[in-house]
Every structure is written in C-alpha cells, then in structure tokens.
A and B are shown apart, each in its own frame.
Chain A
Amino acid sequence: MNALTHFLAMGGYARYLWPCYGITFAVVFLNIYWARRLIARARSEARRRIAMREEWIVEETQA
C-alpha cells in the first residue's frame, strides 16, 4: 500500500473521519458564503433606498 492510500484509509476509520472533516469545512465555507450574501443584499437594498429617496427629492423640487 502506498503512502497516500495508507493516509486516506486512516487505519480503517476513513468512512467516519472524512465525512467529519467534510461536514466541518462545509460549515466553515458556507458561513463565509452566507456572510458575503448578507452584505451584498444589505448593500443593494441600501442603494435602492438611496436612489428612491433621491428620485423623490427631484420630484418634490420639480413640483
């Protein structure tokens, strides 16, 4: 058995150990993705509000 397959076999614990690591790092990367999505949504919502307000100011001054 070469070194890599020996490492991946984890002394017979591979079927428990690798899912363990997989779940943990899925959660790690998902949290980064969710946080980025939260910021992006909050930014676009704030931009939309600012644009609406400016449009409203223009309409008010024209009226």
Chain B
Amino acid sequence: MSWTWFHRLGSPPYVYRLARTLTPWFAWPAALLIVAGLYGGLVLAPPDYQQGDGFRMIYVHVPTAYLSIMIYTSMGIAAAVGLIWRMKVAHAVAASCAPIGASFTVAALATGSLFGRPMWGTYWEWDPRLTSELLLLFLYLGYMGLRSAFDDAQRADRASALLAIVGLVDVPIVHYSVIWWNSLHQAPSLLRLGRPTIYTASMLVPLLFMIFGFTLYFVAVLLMRLRGEVLRRERAASWVKEALAS
C-alpha cells in the first residue's frame, strides 16, 4: 500500500486547499439531513407513549451529546498522531476540534438539563452520566487554556496533546456510565444490543438523520477552522501568498 496520501496530509498547503475544496461537500448534505431530520422529528414522528411530545427533545439532545464525545475522541486521536509522527497538521486538527467540542458539550448539558426538568423533576443531579459529561467540558476548557498558556506553538501542541490523550479515559466513562451505574439518566436509545428503546421507524429515522447530519456538519466546521489554524501557523511560509491570491 502506498503511503503518499498520508505524507501529503502532512503538507500544510495541500491540507489548506483540500479543506477548502471539501467543505461544501460536507456542509450541504449536512444542511439537507438536518432540515429533513427536524421535519421528521418535530412533525412526522408520533408522540412517545410515556414522554408525550417532550420526547422530541432527543432530536437535539442526542446529536449534541454524541458530538461532544465523538469530537473529543477525534481530538485525542489527532493529538496522538501529532505526538507520535510529529505531524503539525494533526496538532492543528486537534486544536480545531476543541472549541467546537466544548460548545457542543455545553449544548448537550443545557438540552439535557431542560429535558431533565419535566422528566425527572430536576435540572441537575450529580448522576454519573451528568458528572462525567461535565468533566468532559472541563477537559475541553483545560485543553484550550493550556494551549493559550504557551507562546510557542510546538510546546503548546505537545503539552496539550498529552492532556487530550489522558482525557480520553473519560469518553468510555461517559458512554457506559448509564450501564455501569444504576443512574437517573435513561439507558442508550440506540446503541443497546437487542432492544433499542425506540421502536418505530418514524421515531428512529429522524434521529439517525440528525446524528448523521450533525456529524457532517462537524466535519465542515472542522475543515473551516483547520484552514484558519493552518494559515495562522504558516503565515510566514512562502505558499501563503499564492494561496491568498486564489
């Protein structure tokens, strides 16, 4: 197998151009999927037999919560690749993930809180799922804070990468917390073997549309941030003048 594609991904000008070309290919399908998911979730899906119309909050709560841990995992992997292969672009990917992930963790906590009030009778509970998700937010904030504490980009990359990798421990804790401990939070709706809690296609399909749409949306925003991040790091490089002209 040829590894040239991997080496090309280490080249900032190549990545800058690739990111620009790919962004609309993720952004437009994302917009279509999210609009379809919203229509399916808010209009077509029937009310839940227990939670009534309140259950429709899952169409934003599940995608935001899923993004919060998926983005952290992507950030940890990118940081590890950057550390192992000394790949600047991988560090730029990790740095680009952090603010997006942090904002979706806030959204997951806020939507969960609004979901919890009518269903559990409380906005907040120190339950394992909620606590580990809050820890995830602090990991993102710690990562961003650590990066901004260094003037030198390389030192910032290395120190923050270690934090990102160590923090990966929290990801399985968030995911399995509802299975390992008898918690207030309900069990997974989708990733449960044999018996998903969502039965009907009219409830399930919009959720899958939203999850897939939010994933593509994340890639599009990540590619945009990556362009800014690469340009910021490479502002003194000779390819930048050419790239700015086109």
- Real binding pair: yes
Binding site for B on A (CB under 8 A): 7, 10-13, 16-17, 19-21, 23-24, 27-28, 30-32, 34-36, 38-39, 41-43, 45-47, 49-50
| A interface, over-half SS | helix
Binding site for A on B (CB under 8 A): 42-43, 47, 52-54, 56-57, 60-61, 63-64, 99-100, 103-104, 106-107, 110-111, 114-115, 117-118, 217, 221, 224-225, 227-229, 231-232, 235-236, 240-241, 244
A45 CB to closest chain B CB (Å) equals: 6
A3 CB to closest chain B CB (Å) equals: 11
B171 CB to closest chain A CB (Å) equals: 20
Residues of A within 8 A of B99 (CB): 31, 34
Contact A16 B104 (CB under 8 A): no
Contact A39 B236 (CB under 8 A): no
Contact B115 A20 (CB under 8 A): yes
Residues of A within 8 A of B241 (CB): 50
Specify which of A10, A36, A39 is in contact with B56 (CB 8 Å cutoff). Answer: A10
Whole-angstrom CA separation of A43 from B100 in the bound complex: 21
Interchain Cβ contacts under 8 Å between A and B, 29 examples: A7-B42, A11-B53, A12-B53, A16-B54, A16-B57, A16-B115, A17-B56, A20-B60, A20-B111, A23-B114, A24-B60, A27-B107, A30-B103, A31-B221, A34-B99, A35-B224, A35-B228, A38-B224, A39-B227, A41-B228, A42-B228, A45-B232, A45-B235, A46-B231, A46-B232, A46-B235, A46-B244, A49-B235, A50-B244
Residues of A within 8 A of B56 (CB): 10, 13, 17
A56 CB to closest chain B CB (Å) equals: 12
Specify which of B100, B118, B244 is in contact with A16 (CB 8 Å cutoff). Answer: B118
Contact A39 B231 (CB under 8 A): yes
B147 CB to closest chain A CB (Å) equals: 14
7 further A-B contacts with Cβ under 8 Å, apart from A23-B111, A46-B235, are A20-B61, A23-B107, A31-B99, A32-B221, A38-B229, A39-B231, A42-B229
B20 CB to closest chain A CB (Å) equals: 9
Residues of B within 8 A of A47 (CB): 244
